[in-house]
Structure 1
Amino acid sequence: MKKSLSHRPLLLAIAMSAGLSVAHAQGSAADGIAKYREMLQDGNPAELFEMKGEELWKQKRGPKNASLEQCDLGKGPGVLKGAFTELPRFFKDTGKVMDLETRLIHCMVTLQGFNEADLYKAAPTIGKGDGANLVAITTYVATQSKGMRFNLSQSHEKEKVMYEVGKRAFFARGGPHDFSCASCHGVDGGRIRLQDLPNLTKNPGDGVGFAAWPAYRVSNAQMWTMQKRLNDCYRQQRFPEPKFGSDVTIALGVYMGVNAQGAESIVPAIKR
């Protein structure tokens, strides 16, 4: 017994040393990822998507041969500055709460004459055709609010309902692994594969979480919008992937956006 007790200080020291080594390794890895992103930011490929989006915004297209320059994103026809940081929001002309992507599709239908069903079918295919065009336009519009702070409205009853629906969806557990959005993003200090996981139940800080998308994904050389990010989260939870623009994705956007009140948008961001 005495011999066993005599080893306790040594074992404790080894355990503490190992713990510090792991913490240091994780901290070093996180710092390295941050520096990597900072280096890439100067030549962020998202700028190419932004440029393409600006061309498409101003280009006359569709059966009506019109541009999107009169699209009303909530602040009046053609007003882009500050629109992204107030979305999703309620729109009186549709009677619905819409995010940026679904609102852009609405404008492409009403102003340019595109077929709504065709656009929604193409939207998930972000690398080609109308899906790629929507990603580019979304990136361009969102970038016009870079540096501004999120300020989503909760004045309309439907906006309040969507917030509560989004909150329920965020914490709803299910699937083969009994996961929810909160499993990864419901606590402080979360991490997966040395990747920091922001707590999205509150304001996670400037340029984090909701305030960082659309973003360029270095790992697959793609530009991802919030709709794509949410869809992939459901895939990782082994849930059935939601349809593009479905109520649950809009509601989650409202929930996270309201929680990000005051956070600064850094769009277009760059991710691993």
Structure 2
Amino acid sequence: MIRHTCAVLLAAGVALATTEGLAQDSTTEGIAKYRDMLEDDNPAELWQLRGAELWKTKRGPKDASLEGCDLGLGRGVVKGVYTQLPRYFADTGKVQDLESRLVSCMVTQQGFSLEEVTKQPFGNGSEEKSDLEALAVWIVSESRGMKLKVPTAHPKEKEAYEIGKQIFSYRAGPHDFACATCHSQEGRRIRLQELPNLTTAEGARKAFGAWPAYRVSQGEVRTMQHRLYDCFRQQRFPEPRYGSDVITALTMYLAVSANGGELLAPTIKR
């Protein structure tokens, strides 16, 4: 009798696990199909158009455009630059990601103050729009379909990668969370959202190559800066400053981990 009962319970447990697994697979497939349907009319194109216009428009105290900005492959070159960012820039003596580099160019070439440039780094889904988000999504779109090849030859690039790796695993805050808490194992999810394992090349490529993305729930394009900012917020960490070295280092770690993957951004997220 006991053996029979155990066998029934075991069979029920296997059936339940199988049902849950099928339900998760079904949900994942459903979300993927939903995104595929929206991709043909991705609202991010509106941000791309505005970003392309902002790049060539003369603005700021110096009445200059950003067409002389060096994003890593020479003055004014945009095609392919995002596949090689973050990287070390000799003129600032720092490793910079796309957005912190844009801030440097807007300050030095257009004459804006740092406070002016970073006053509205993220749009709010309605009347307040971010020039930085628009510029970033256009520049990223110019590298879409290319392979990521972020450099690590310079000592500061190697240093940034190692710091980012440590930050990824650093546990702190009221919940004792780290990036690795959610993103270091397979098969994890939060609500209906899959959580990629960023410690593997496949997971890092899938995640990093998908940002910037248009977030349907927010009605905004969100860049990698915002994605990582939001991760810190959810961990209840102190709010990182826009363009901070912490964000750059973490971006460097994720980007290098994703090397060899295809850049798919801008994409659509929930």
Q: TM-score range by the shorter chain?
A: over 0.9
Q: Secondary structure at the match of 2:118?
A: helix
Percent of matched pairs sharing the same residue: 53
CA distance, structure 2, for counterparts of residue 232 and residue 109 of structure 1: 25
CA distance, structure 1, for counterparts of residue 200 and residue 158 of structure 2: 17
Q: Secondary structure at the match of 2:24?
A: helix
Alignment match, 2:221: 223
Instruction: Give the Å deviation of 1:121.
Output: 3.2
Instruction: Give the Å deviation of 1:65.
Output: 1.3
1:66 lines up with 2:76 in the alignment:
no
Answer whether contact 2:198 2:204 (CA < 8 A) is retained.
no
Alignment match, 1:212: 210
CA distance, structure 2, for counterparts of residue 206 and residue 5 of structure 1: 46
Answer whether contact 1:69 1:77 (CA < 8 A) is retained.
yes
Q: Deviations over 1:222-252 (max 9, x none)?
A: 1101111001001111111111111110000
Residue 81 (structure 1) aligned to one of 72, 79, 82:
79
Alignment match, 2:164: 166
Q: Could you list the runs of 5+ residues in structure 2 that have no partner in the other structure?
A: none
Q: Secondary structure at the match of 1:256?
A: helix
1:190 lines up with 2:175 in the alignment:
no
Residue 200 (structure 2) aligned to one of 199, 202, 225:
202
Alignment match, 2:39: 41
CA distance, structure 2, for counterparts of residue 134 and residue 59 of structure 1: 14
Instruction: Give the Å deviation of 1:113.
Output: 1.2
Alignment match, 2:118: 120
Answer whether contact 2:204 2:257 (CA < 8 A) is retained.
no
Q: Deviations over 1:36-73 (max 9, x none)?
A: 00001011100100011011111111111111111100
Q: Secondary structure at the match of 1:97?
A: strand
1:157 lines up with 2:186 in the alignment:
no
CA distance, structure 2, for counterparts of residue 197 and residue 16 of structure 1: 24
Alignment match, 1:23: 21
Answer whether contact 1:99 1:250 (CA < 8 A) is retained.
yes
CA distance, structure 2, for counterparts of residue 127 and residue 25 of structure 1: 32
The letter of the residue matching 1:220 is Q
The letter of the residue matching 1:269 is T
CA RMSD of aligned residues (A): 1.6
Q: Secondary structure at the match of 1:174?
A: coil
CA distance, structure 2, for counterparts of residue 60 and residue 244 of structure 1: 24
The letter of the residue matching 2:138 is Y
Q: Deviations over 1:16-40 (max 9, x none)?
A: 1111110000000000000000001
How many residues align structurally?
270
Instruction: Give the Å deviation of 1:118.
Output: 2.1
The letter of the residue matching 1:84 is Y
Q: Secondary structure at the match of 2:189?
A: strand
Answer whether contact 2:150 2:255 (CA < 8 A) is retained.
yes
Quickly say closer, same or farther: Cα 1:100–1:233, change in 2 above 3 A.
same
Return the TM-score normalized by structure 1.
0.95
CA distance, structure 1, for counterparts of residue 238 and residue 138 of structure 2: 30
